Structure 1
């Protein structure tokens, strides 16, 4: 294949024709620059993009139409293919509207990348809008052995990825291509061009950084036509908060409690230190959480959502499952079934007489009682009267629906499975005698089994954890069990480890007294040899020997030390009087 370059009047052979595995588009151009032997970066940019400054952006390259034309589609037959496969833009696309996503793709294709970050809202997100190049030292070593050169991997450049998904080590951050340093140059990774790594990861930090990286990768892999609806995201958030007992009533979010727990989680992960999140200040974090949880949804940096998602759901697959099952707040009407105690005795007797004895239809009985047909059906179900109905659905489908509801299947899931509306499920729960009570018992049994299994799993995984620590690990399970199955929970809590002071080893006060006495005497003599003027006070002793001050409360058990300090006080007092 050859490079078509109208500016130079002839076709040049392409020095490279293939992508490396997981390669960033900027990295491909860097390899082209080095293998082509161009002296200046501008020459390469002109050859590939027709302009000395186009295409050199490592995060959002521009003028890809020209690149595809001049490389004859060898690296991708359309600009869209290259953008979606070899740039970081797909990480952001699911969070914006379809029209804005189309505009972003069009601007990158036509060479107008200057407004990309502003359209994504990155500069106003309180997170830096730049995307420093990062690399894994282990991957660099393996790439050099396999391909002859290190290159930039796309996965390592995704926002939120700070550890290598393969080797689980912290990524190195490149000290060039940032802060306007060599911003228009083509630079491949070199071992001497990275900032020193100043962090030592704990197991806890490693775990959550890895989950954060996996979440970012899963977002990048979403299909191009998937759009994340922020209203549905809020619904999923509220459901998770409700399960973890962080709602006041049915709707109000306990924002103060949410903020405190969220900050404690993110600080334990050290995400602020790694630049994944802005500095952890309670006021600004409360404002950010209120935007994400309670206000009218607006497009914002996905890195604001990811830590919240991991805190509430633990990982991306759990959130994505909750998101897909989330629904608008008023889309399903809650079922409030009547019981026989809710119906006046006279009305219940008349209903029984009309339907059971006289054999009237439900509509005729409702007309005689002066109530709606649906109310009559509900009353009949509460009284245990089975009505002869003419259902719109066939009897086999109704039997299957009833069977699923008796096993505790959720209303929306049941409606989706059998291809009926949610109102049909609600009506069936209201009108089938005893069904709603069976359904509620089954739902409770499923929730009980789920909460107990999660709590037992946490106890098994953390055998030495205290009740407080397990509560922080499984807050939702603890809240459900505390409210609904407290006896079982208390029986398990009694088996847990408790904070206790080990008093099995008694203190050897005589030895401690001898040691402190020797320290004080040695220090006093040292001060005398150093020519300290009298009086030498006890305060000087305390400042020079910090472990003496805490022992003051136990001086009655340290007779030698107490006597020596008393003598020092007396000498100091006499000298001052003289």
Structure 2
């Protein structure tokens, strides 16, 4: 059914709000009638934050309306503030669900909203001054999306407390009912915070939420976000130069910055060893609620406007000076010693390039921008070695105990670089000999004598055993006098004939088959659930190596394992069913998110698993 007329979308208006105004204008009495007209379904829910079925809705609008699922998601939902803090694949999947899916609960599950611990809003909110302004400018008031984000208690524009309406978005009676602000607005609604208790943090959060909602920010992924956070912690002295976070000190200062009571009010208290704050600066495993990202940014002293424009460090793609010298021969090696960087562009790629030069003469270049703390100690190429490095090379060259590779390790370069610089420093195309022939002859005689003594003292030992007894002498002679070494070692031992003992694979197959047949049912009833795999069965019957290396020789055992082995999807389906059974037995919450949490599933499970979760959740509804 095509829609002939529809209200104009207003600035910062919720999609929910536009539909509620349309409902009032056309005088719909039955909430199901409007969802059928707009979405083609009488069971569509009135979702305020992450609506779905947007493609169906847009198809019903006039062709010249210029409204698309993407434009609604960008301008009229809360998704833009969640998107920058997700993995790219997850963000793309959620956009697709909002456009095409019939089940809004799947979107909340994919975002991790339920499992985050940050409570969604109980009732829609509004700013009394925005209501007055909207009535003058637009002719009627509407629900602003920036007022509906969890943790926002104040209007970003007027800096007054928001009013909490009586329209409970979580109640069953409002599940399918779009309610307009003008229909029930009451200036006496409860204020979320009194004017006296408003803090600078409340205002800051409100302003930053509004700013992010109005942007199209890059989706870097969880790994890059973590690297940037760690870089700021290094600046604050709460992480080592290599990025090791001082967890206890970090957590203590974070709590002190906001206070325990405030963090509890915004559902972000940090308790336990694996709390959300610590998880944000460790290897990322799951997404964290945007409110908590904003709290961390405020603590780090950075604004989203500074944090997001590029992957570098604002206008400093290589961070702030001083920069470290990377010359191993310099006293300032890996210490702040270089006061400025000359920034150029790569001729071919256009990438930013930093050129660094220390007083020791060592100069190097690095392609940027830096994205991690470790990048500060990397170099793309060496421009010049400098006099200090060359003098250290000459000193090492005079020491007969230091070989070519050791020189290279000491000076942080390739052995071929050592050869090239020695040839140049010695004024010839060849490396200057470190020992004259007489000295070398004396050294060879010394090593030969020690090895001969070791052989005479151990006449029954084999070549391999002699090598272990006189290891240093053996290695030196192997490198410098191999022909003599091979001629003077004990004769090679004849290889022992292989045993003619044969394995009875049929008997072994029968034995392993019976043991595996007992192990598999044990795995299926184990608590907590364990996945049935070849490796796990092998561990249980103490024959893992046999199953990994010789399974082809064990046909009965192989067939048994292949028949019972679980794919990851099979394993997840079994866990979901077990979780649903336990929740039903205990009479606990049976919502999809509760099943997911009970089953311990991480985001990214298949559509088949999602359909099974939904089937179990709504089987008895």
Measured against the shorter chain, the TM-score band is 0.5 to 0.7
Residue pair 1:134, 1:157 contacting (<8 A) in 2 also:
yes
* 1:210 is the counterpart of 2:198: no
Cα distance change on mapping 1:20 and 1:294 into 2, 3 Å? closer
| Post-superposition offset of 1:169 | 1.1
User: Quick one: structure 1 residues 26 and 115, their matched pair in 2 at CA, closer, same or farther if it must change by over 3 Å?
Assistant: same
**Against the structure 1 CA distance between its residues 423 and 123, is the aligned structure 2 distance closer, same or farther, given a 3 Å change threshold?**
closer
Aligned mate of 1:179, from 162, 170, 175: 170
Which of 257, 261, 286 aligns to 1:298? It is 286
Determine the structure 1 residue equivalent to 2:608.
Answer: none
- The 2-side partners of 1:249 and 1:77 are apart by 49
Aligned residues: 355
CA deviation after TM superposition for structure 1 residue 21, in Å:
2.5
- Taking the TM superposition and a 5 Å limit, the aligned residue runs for 1:523-542 are none
Would you say 1:81 and 2:75 are equivalent positions?
A: no
In structure 1, the partner of 2:39 is 49
Deviations 1:399-434 (A, max 9, x none): x9769999xxx98887569xxx99766513644889
The equivalent of 2:615 in structure 1 is none
Give the Cα separation in 2 of the matches to 1:63 and 1:269: 40
Contact 1:162-1:171 at 8 Å conserved across structures: yes
1:283 aligns with 2:277: no
Q: Which of the numbers 191, 197, 200 marks the counterpart of 2:194?
A: 200
Residues 272-319 of structure 1: CA distance to partner in whole angstroms, max 9, x if unpaired? 33xx334x35437x6222211123342222222110111112422333
1:231 counterpart (200, 205, 223): 223
**2:24 maps to 1:34:** yes
User: For 1:472-487, what aligned pairs fall within 5 Å after superposition?
Assistant: none
Contact 2:7 2:22 in 1 (8 A): no
Deviations along 1:495-526, whole A, 9 cap, x unmatched? xxxxxxxxxxxxxxxxxxxxxxxxxxxxxxxx
Q: Is the partner of 2:97 in helix, strand or coil?
A: helix
Q: Deviations over 1:59-92 (max 9, x none)?
A: 1222122211112245544222222221111221
Q: Secondary structure at the match of 1:174?
A: strand
The correspondence of residues 478-557 of structure 1 with structure 2, limited to 5 A, is none
Cα pair distance change 1:313/1:321, threshold 3 Å: farther
Query: Which of 90, 96, 102 is the equivalent residue of 1:106?
Result: 96
Using the TM superposition, give the Cα deviation of residue 36 of structure 1 relative to its aligned residue in structure 2, in angstroms.
0.2
Unaligned 5+ residue runs, structure 2?
Answer: 333-345, 371-375, 390-621
3-state DSSP class of the match of 2:264?
coil
Structure 2 residue 417 is matched with structure 1 residue 428: no
Match of 2:305 among 302, 317, 333: 317
Which 10-residue stretch deviates more, 213-222 or 299-308? 213-222
What are the ranges of 5 or more consecutive residues in structure 1 without an aligned counterpart?
Answer: 6-11, 343-392, 435-578
Task: Report the structure, 1 or 2, having the larger helix content.
Answer: 1
Q: Give the stretch that moved more between structures: 57-66 or 245-254.
A: 245-254
In the TM superposition, what whole-angstrom CA distance separates every residue of 1:165-186 from its partner, at most 9, and x where no partner exists? Answer: 2101122222323331422212
- TM-score using structure 1 length: 0.53
**Which piece of structure 1 moves more, 70-79 or 166-175?**
70-79
SS of the equivalent of 2:131 reads helix
Greater alpha carbon shift after TM alignment, 56-65 vs 177-186: 177-186
Alignment match, 1:266: 258
The reply on whether 1:241 has 2:233 as its aligned counterpart is yes
Distance 2:355 2:283 in 1: 39
Whether the 8 Å CA contact 2:161–2:194 is kept in 1: the answer is: no
* CA–CA distance in structure 2, aligned partners of residues 334 and 297 of structure 1: 32
Question: What TM-score results when the alignment is normalised by the length of structure 2?
Answer: 0.50
The CA deviation string for residues 369-394 of structure 1, in whole angstroms up to 9 with x for no partner, is xxxxxxxxxxxxxxxxxxxxxxxx99
Change beyond 3 A, Cα 1:338–1:165: same
For the aligned residues, what is the CA RMSD?
4.0
Alpha-carbon offset, residue 132 of structure 1: 4.0
Alignment of 1:380-459 (within 5 A): 427-428=382-383, 430-431=385-386
Question: Does structure 2 conserve the Cα–Cα contact (< 8 Å) formed by 1:136 and 1:169?
Answer: yes
Cα distance 1:213–1:167, how it changes in 2: closer, same or farther (>3 A)? same
Give, in whole Å, the separation in 2 of the partners of 1:403 and 1:252. Answer: 25
1:520 corresponds to: none
Q: Report the Cα offset of residue 43 of structure 1.
A: 1.4
Deviations 1:78-121 (A, max 9, x none): 22222222111122122223332222222222233220010011
Is the contact made by 2:87 and 2:222 (CA closer than 8 Å) also made in structure 1?
Answer: no
Cα distance in 2 for residues equivalent to 1:156 and 1:405? 53
Q: Distance in 1 between matches of 2:199 and 2:74?
A: 29
Query: Does residue 127 of the first structure (1) align with residue 118 of the second (2)?
Result: yes
Aligned counterparts of 1:199 and 1:115: Cα–Cα separation in 2: 33
CA contact (8 A) 1:404 1:414 kept: no
Q: Is the 8 A contact 2:231 2:243 kept in 1?
A: no
Q: Distance in 2 between matches of 1:102 and 1:431?
A: 51
Task: Tell me the secondary structure at the aligned position of residue 283 of structure 1.
Answer: coil
CA distance in 1, matches of 2:250, 2:354: 39
Q: Alpha-carbon deviation of 1:258?
A: 1.4
Correspondences of 1:288-367 after superposition (within 5 Å):
288-320=276-308, 323-325=311-313, 335-339=325-329
Deviations 1:184-204 (A, max 9, x none): 21212233387512633558x
Following superposition, the deviation at residue 23 of structure 1 comes to 1.6
Matched residues in 1 for 2:255 and 2:296: separation? 10
State the alpha-carbon separation in 1 of the partners of residues 279 and 224 from structure 2: 14
CA contact (8 A) 1:55 1:64 kept: no
Alpha carbons of structure 1 residues 193 and 109: separation in structure 2 relative to 1, 3 Å: farther
SS of the residue 1:145 aligns to: helix
1:227 Cα offset (Å): 0.9
What residue number does 1:191 align with?
185
- SS state at 1:57 partner: coil
Distance in 2 of aligned mates of 1:256 and 1:52: 53
What is the CA–CA distance in structure 1 between the aligned matches of 2:330 and 2:240, rounded to whole Å? 32
Aligned residue for 2:259, secondary structure, equals: helix
C-alpha separation in 1, matches of 2:236 and 2:312: 20
Q: 1:252 aligns with which of 225, 232, 244?
A: 244
The change in CA–CA distance for 1:35 and 1:404 in structure 2 (over 3 A counts) is farther
